[in-house]
Structure 1
Amino acid sequence: MTYKSLMCILRTAEGDLAHLDHAVRLARRYDAHLDVLCLGVDRVQVGFYYAGATALVAENSLAQAETDARELKDFVTKRLDETDIRWSAEAMIVQWGAIGPAIEQAARYTDLVILPRPYGDIRGPEDEAITEAALFLGPTPVLTVPPGWANDAPVDPVIATNQGPEAIAAVRAAMPGLEQVGQANIAIVDPPRHGPERSDPGGALSMMLARHGVRAEVSILARTMPRISDVLVRHVQDRKADLVIMGAYGHSRLREAVLGGPTRDMLAEAPVPVLMAR
């Protein structure tokens, strides 16, 4: 089992492009093909003109989206021509309201999608929509890369699990990397006192990993901070870990958008790449 088809999505060439560089490293490590999707987003919605808008506004918006996508493709071509990997780049123009179906179609046959963190100074609602579309509509495992990340292969991954189905889906999606590393830390925050694994939290997952040649240790973490993400981030920093593997959106996306939750918080604040799946 390995990754053979990777996808990286770019919406802008501004700011940090650590996710593109990391996608190149992954393609080289797994001898995989890298598809780069260069998005130009048309933000004027047909049928939803604001007061005073004209057809010229829509035409200008579409033209700008086409220019953005074309310039992104040119940028990517120059950058990847200097690498030794197999790759392709596609310019795509998409309306804001159609980001989901476009990403679903593009990511459906991909093993892993590599994206920037969807929250930050130069990020917008499009980035969050792209991440959620890949996870929910693909559905495809997503690896988000923080700004400035330059490490190559992970050597100390942390599996953050609540022992739910999303977490196990993420572990399965991460198995090619885990098998290469040969070890992992299983982090469980306040495991339930009543449940099928109450006497041995993480035991079944450890056995699953062992059968894949991955030696696992289990860390039971007390929830001593207000948010689960705070506990996980501190654990990652204490271990000097370099990857977090976790399930995405155990709660509804609406609840996490309004109240916050581990998925949203880790996407915004994790100091290392995060591999998520559903």
Structure 2
Amino acid sequence: MTYKSLFTVLTDPELDLSVLPQAAALARQYEAHLDVLCLGIDSSQSGYYFAGANAMILQEALTRASAEAQALEGAAQAWLGKTDLLWNTEAAMAQAGDLGRFVAGHGRFSDLVILPQPYGKNRGIDQEAVIEGALFGAQAPVLVLPEGVTAQAAPRRVAIAWNESPEALRTVRAALPLLKSAERVTVVVIDPPVHGPNRSDPGGLLSQYLSRHGVKVEIDILSRSMPRVSDVLSRACTDMAADLLVMGAYGHSRFREAILGGATRDMLEEAPLPVFMAH
């Protein structure tokens, strides 16, 4: 297994064009094709305008969204045209409320989606909708890149956040090409259950599975010494100088995590390193 179809979505030139070189580096590493969707977003809500204004406002919004999409595509083509990669760009418009479904339709045949961190300074709801469209609609793994952090095309040290959930296992399987090329992979287990079939050997079956694929793996059992699981994971990644964190996305509902918080939401907001996620 390897990655042969990579996909990224551009919606903001200041945020997203910094991701393009990293997506290109991964495409070069795996000799993959890179598809770039350049989106202009129509944020108008026609139902809220007085009678007679709808048509004018809608046309203005569509014109602006089209111009933004064309500008993004022009910038992407100018950059990609200087490379020797196999690539394709598409300019399109989408309504803000339909953004997730639109991204899902374009990304469902991708092996890996590369996106910027969706939360934080200068981020908006558009980036959140894009990443959720990729994870839930396209059912594709997503590599999330924090601002100012460069992802290694072949990470040397990888941490796996392991909690025995179906999401975590699917993510590990999707990340196998990256794990097999790493020098060291550490399975991080936080507060393993006292009762359960694997209580005597937390992470043991996963390590056996990975070692049969040629992955150099070790297990690190940690206590939840801080209030949030994400804080423990971040510290563990820093201590082991990890280049990448692999973790399942949204074991709880998105609504619950939005209101009460959760490891996925916290890592998407504050991750100090690239995060590989799948649902």
TM over 0.5: yes
Structure 2 partner of 1:134: 134
Residue 180 of structure 2 is matched in structure 1 by 179
Structure 1 residues 81-96: aligned runs within 5 Å: 81-96=81-96
Query: What is the percent sequence identity of the aligned residues?
Result: 51
| Contact 2:182/2:216 (8 A) holds in 1 | no
Instruction: Provide the rounded CA distance (Å) in 2 between the counterparts of 1:15 and 1:180.
Output: 29
* CA distance in structure 1 between the aligned counterparts of 2:259 and 2:121, rounded to whole angstroms: 20
Match of 2:29 in 1: 29
Question: Structure 1 pair 50/195, CA: closer, same or farther in 2 (3 Å)?
Answer: farther
Q: Is the 8 A contact 2:96 2:126 kept in 1?
A: yes
CA deviation after TM superposition for structure 1 residue 45, in Å: 3.3
The 3 A distance-change label for structure 1 pair 151 and 103 is closer
Residue identity opposite 1:242 in structure 2: D
Q: Which amino acid aligns with 1:180?
A: S
Report the counterpart of residue 150 of structure 1 in structure 2: 150
Residue aligning to 1:105: 105
Q: In the aligned structure 2, how far is the partner of 1:223 from the partner of 1:181?
A: 27
- 1:49 is displaced (CA, Å) by 2.4
1:11 corresponds to: 11
For residues 202-255 of structure 1, the C-alpha deviation after alignment (integer angstroms, 9 at most, x for no partner) is: 000000000100021111111111100000001111111110000000011000
1-side partners of 2:186 and 2:18: how far apart? 25
What is the CA deviation profile of residues 43-100 of structure 1, one whole-angstrom value per residue up to 9, with x for unaligned ones? Answer: 1134x22457532111111111000000000000001111121111100100111112
Letter in 2 for 1:130: V
Given that residues 17 and 147 in structure 1 are in contact (C-alpha distance below 8 angstroms), is that contact kept between their aligned partners in structure 2? no
Q: Secondary structure at the match of 1:134?
A: helix
CA shift digits 1:154-212 (9 cap, x unpaired): 10010011111100000011001111225310001111111111110000000000010
- Amino acid aligned to 1:100: G
Moved more, 98-107 or 259-268: 98-107
Aligned to 1:250: 251
| Aligned alpha-carbon RMSD (Å) | 1.3
Map 1:192-207 → 2, pairs under 5 A = 192-207=193-208
1:151 Cα offset (Å): 4.5
Matched, 1:62 2:53: no
* 2:19 aligned counterpart, secondary structure: helix
Q: Secondary structure at the match of 2:250?
A: coil
Structure 2 residues not aligned, in runs of 5+: none
Q: Which amino acid aligns with 1:204?
A: L
Tell me the CA shift for residue 150 of structure 1. Answer: 2.6
Task: Give the total of aligned pairs.
Answer: 277
Matched, 1:214 2:199: no
Q: Note if contact 2:247-2:278 (Cα within 8 Å) is conserved in structure 1.
A: yes
Aligned 8 A contact 1:17 1:116 in 2: no
The TM-score with structure 1 as length reference comes to 0.96
Check the 8 A contact 2:244/2:273 in 1, yes or no.
yes
Q: Which amino acid aligns with 2:27?
A: A
Give the 3 Å change call, closer, same or farther, for CA 186–18 of structure 1 in structure 2.
farther
- The answer (yes or no) to whether the contact 1:16–1:147 under 8 Å persists in 2 is no
Could you tell me how far apart the structure 1 residues matched to 2:175 and 2:48 are? Answer: 44
Which amino acid is the alignment partner of residue 222 of structure 1? S
1:1-41 per-position Cα deviation (integer Å, ceiling 9, x unaligned): 10000001110111464321210110000000000110100
Provide the rounded CA distance (Å) in 2 between the counterparts of 1:51 and 1:138. Answer: 37
Counterpart residue number, 2:271: 270
Change (3 A) 1:15 1:104: closer
For the residues of structure 2 that align with 1:18 and 1:271, how far apart are their CA atoms? 16
Decide whether the 8 Å contact of 1:18 with 1:146 is kept in 2.
no
User: Structure 1: which 5+ residue stretches go unaligned?
Assistant: none
Query: Which residue identity lines up with residue 189 of structure 1 in the other structure?
Result: I
Q: Is the 8 A contact 1:40 1:68 kept in 2?
A: yes
Using structure 2 for the length normalisation, give the TM-score. Answer: 0.96
Give secondary structure in 2 for the equivalent of 1:66.
Answer: helix
Amino acid of the residue matched to residue 211 of structure 1? R
1: distance between equivalents of 2:48 and 2:56? 11
Q: Do the aligned residues in 2 keep the contact of 1:18 with 1:149 (CA within 8 Å)?
A: no
- Return the alpha-carbon distance in structure 2 between the equivalents of residues 42 and 178 of structure 1: 39
- Tell whether the 8 Å contact from 1:146 to 1:271 is kept in structure 2 after alignment: yes
